[in-house]
Structure 1
Amino acid sequence: MKNNKIWITTCLAAFSLGFVQKSEPTLKEAFQNSFYVGAALNKAQFSGKDTKAQELVKKQFNTISPENVLKWGPVHPKPEEYNFKPADDYVAFGQQNKMFIVGHTLVWHQQTPDWVFEDEAGKPVSREVLLKRMENHISTVVGRYKGKIQGWDVVNEAIADQGGQMRPTKWLSIIGEDFAQKAFEYAHKADPQAELYYNDYSLYRPDKREGVIRLVKSLQAKGIKVKAIGMQGHYGLTVPTMEQVEASIVAFSKLGVEVNFTELDIDVLPNPSQRQGADIAETFDADQKFNVYSSGLPDSVQQKLTKRYADLFTLFRKHQDKIGRITFWGVTDANSWLNNWPIKGRTSYPLLFDRQYQPKPAYQAILNMAAQKK
């Protein structure tokens, strides 16, 4: 009995001194009054095969995006064939956990099968045929998830990397510049309540930013409601600057739209080119000088990554009235696309959780920042 009294007295004293504390908030709790915080999921994560990642997602995030299962190729590989099972599982996971579910992506120049643009002889189809194929695809896919998927990346990466003009794609050459307008119209018709987004990378660059502004203004002039512009946050440790990112947040918000950071990760590895984007067609042969941290991330680089994330989230919170969501492109370092792009087989460290599903110092830095009074 005496030992029990001593134990109770010690616990009460510890509590009164503040030694017994509540558990720290998760990411979604820390920013619940600011914006959604989410991650892009692969099939193993939402199907339950990767149970550790699934638990991490349920604990930390309140919005999800699909890495691949709703892109045209995976979901609609042949003219009369749809593969909805993976997408159904993805949506079911989001519904079961009461998450804001995003659909990615309806019209893109990558991961779209050749048959979409060609006739039986392999020749380019007419504008009318391609528009009908686009409408049928969007009507079928968006219609299937009407009321379940709350927001869609309707058009992805339609602005060229240089000069801010429309990217030269088959969509543009066959249909013309109004292909984006048609995609938004078809998506709205299929689900009038869904939020519709334009999504692109390197939007901190002035020329590309201006190209997107022109595109969105042209859509708005035709009465099309663009809910948000998605800024893919595929950043490095020093590029872009916070001032560049902030300039685009402010410029886009002046259009009367929200800003979403849709694909956030930070590449800490050496850059094999002068690329400042995320063009998946740009790849390089394996070279060990671009895979310098294969045995672990040095503490000095870990500190830079931590500061980079803290600075970004400080900026995000500063403009929380303009931002709808922040979505990381992946859950842990182990399944980041940057392990295989732009060079296959690299050991990359771009996210908040390591290969053992454990939070990195950057995670704690973000929570510490969130806990501070503005």
Structure 2
Amino acid sequence: MTRFALKRRQFLLGIGGLSAALLTGQPLRVEAQQPSLAELAKQRSLLWGAAISTEMLTIPDWAGLYRQQTRLLVPEWEMKWAVLQPDRDRFDFSRPDRLLTFARSYQAQLRGHTLLWHQQLPTWLNNLTATETATALQRYIDTVVGHYRGQLQSWDVINEPIAEDGYGLRPNRWLQQLGPNYLEQALRWARVADAQVPLVINDYGLEPDSPLATRKRQQLLQLVETLRDRDAPLQAIGFQAHLVANPQAPPSFTGFAEFLAELSRFDLDFYITELDVNDRALPANFAERDREVAHLYQRFLTAVLPTPRLKLVTTWGLSDRLSWLNQFAPRADGLPQRPLPFDFNFQPTETYGILVSLLQSQSVSN
């Protein structure tokens, strides 16, 4: 088990400072006659899904919630390089294969996430030369994409390639050892391994109304234009949409909507891939916090749902119980974040109600 997986498992079992009372109680199920988020999204020609991990399958109510509410799954960590190829000469597909089996058990689809990322890499990569790195990368993409050929909804080939400050490409090991053409080459290798699966570039921090987000959007636009000029196989752009609640200046997402319109000229689909809300700046009161989180979902989705090329929405998790935010962005007051449509006990939050209303709305149409 990787250190990341162990940390997740400890958190799932209640270790990490959260009150055990938050992890108990019977789930309040959504009424049977209420259409699921996935059913409502399908009526709008959208796939609706959520990130999942194999730990979640060990709790029947949790697995049942996914069966009820989603038709698309994305592995939260089971498809990272350190997990799939822990040793240079050994691949291990057992965990993502289990998620694929679960998805198929209720006619859902699975996304591939992710081939190239600057984190969660195996340690054996550290001492490779540039030539060895290129060889290892090609072998990895060929083996992994080939293993799932014809079985996945899409592949996040490149994750977070734009520099954090918005100036140029991220200075990761691929850029440093292989140069900027690594992006094009990775896409081409993936296309050889699977001729049909949609190939995606996925990034974060593009949604807010801020100078930094504006710079990152311009860099992504330049990258897409370069790849298009070189006829690289790219079918979609993924927007992580890890939103941050700011009670002092609630975002309108006007600039992001305009950016999607500009990006549309490249004939690409758009995916919202990791949607959630960081509520660290919001008050402690659950009801007040839930209301503000739900309103942020509403503002964001009102801006993006009318986009004609929007094909899917996945939240980064479904229940607050194992949200990455409670591990990696904890609140100063020690209370758990509440970023998702269902709370620690799988009860629908105010966000869930907002999502139902938005997906049912005729005024927000694509």
Following TM superposition, by how much is the alpha carbon of 1:22 offset from its aligned partner in structure 2, in angstroms?
Answer: 8.4
Following TM superposition, by how much is the alpha carbon of 1:346 offset from its aligned partner in structure 2, in angstroms?
Answer: 5.5
Q: Secondary structure at the match of 1:86?
A: helix
Contact 1:164 1:212 survives alignment (8 Å): no
Match of 2:35 among 25, 34, 44: 25
- Residues 1:236 and 2:236 are matched in the alignment: no
Q: Secondary structure at the match of 1:254?
A: helix
Structure 1 pair 220/88, CA: closer, same or farther in 2 (3 Å)? same
Contact 2:330 2:337 survives alignment (8 Å): no
Q: Secondary structure at the match of 1:324?
A: strand
**1:163-215: CA deviations, max 9, x gaps?**
33011111111000011111101110000111100001011311101111111
- C-alpha separation between the residues in 1 aligned to 2:115 and 2:352? 32
Q: Secondary structure at the match of 1:305?
A: helix
User: What's the counterpart of residue 151 of structure 1?
Assistant: 154
Contact 2:243 2:278 survives alignment (8 Å): yes
- Residues 1:249 and 2:260 are matched in the alignment: yes
**1:15-44: CA deviations, max 9, x gaps?**
xxxxxx982211011111231111000112
- C-alpha separation between the residues in 1 aligned to 2:289 and 2:116? 37
- C-alpha separation between the residues in 2 aligned to 1:262 and 1:193? 20
Greater Cα shift, 92-101 or 75-84: 92-101
- C-alpha separation between the residues in 1 aligned to 2:328 and 2:219? 26
**1:318-353: CA deviations, max 9, x gaps?**
22x121111100110011000011349751100010
Q: What's the C-alpha RMSD, in Å, of the aligned pairs? A: 1.9
Structure (1 or 2) with the larger CA radius of gyration = 1
Contact 2:252 2:299 survives alignment (8 Å): no
- Residues 1:308 and 2:296 are matched in the alignment: yes
Match of 1:351 among 327, 335, 340: 340
Contact 2:141 2:189 survives alignment (8 Å): yes
Which structure 1 residue ranges, 4+ long, deviate > 6 Å from structure 2?
none
Figure out how many residues of one structure are paired with residues of the other and give that number. Answer: 322
- Residues 1:299 and 2:287 are matched in the alignment: yes
- Residues 1:336 and 2:323 are matched in the alignment: yes
- C-alpha separation between the residues in 2 aligned to 1:260 and 1:162? 23
- Residues 1:167 and 2:170 are matched in the alignment: yes
Contact 1:200 1:232 survives alignment (8 Å): yes
- Residues 1:326 and 2:313 are matched in the alignment: yes
More contact order relative to length (CA 8 Å, sep ≥ 6)? 2
Contact 2:245 2:280 survives alignment (8 Å): no
What's the TM-score once normalised by structure 2's chain length?
A: 0.83
Contact 2:200 2:236 survives alignment (8 Å): yes
**1:251-307: CA deviations, max 9, x gaps?**
222221111111100011139xxxxxxxxxxxxxxxxxxxx74xxx43222221122
Unaligned 5+ runs, structure 2 = 1-30, 208-212
- C-alpha separation between the residues in 2 aligned to 1:196 and 1:246? 22
Over the matched positions of the two proteins, sequence identity in percent amounts to 29
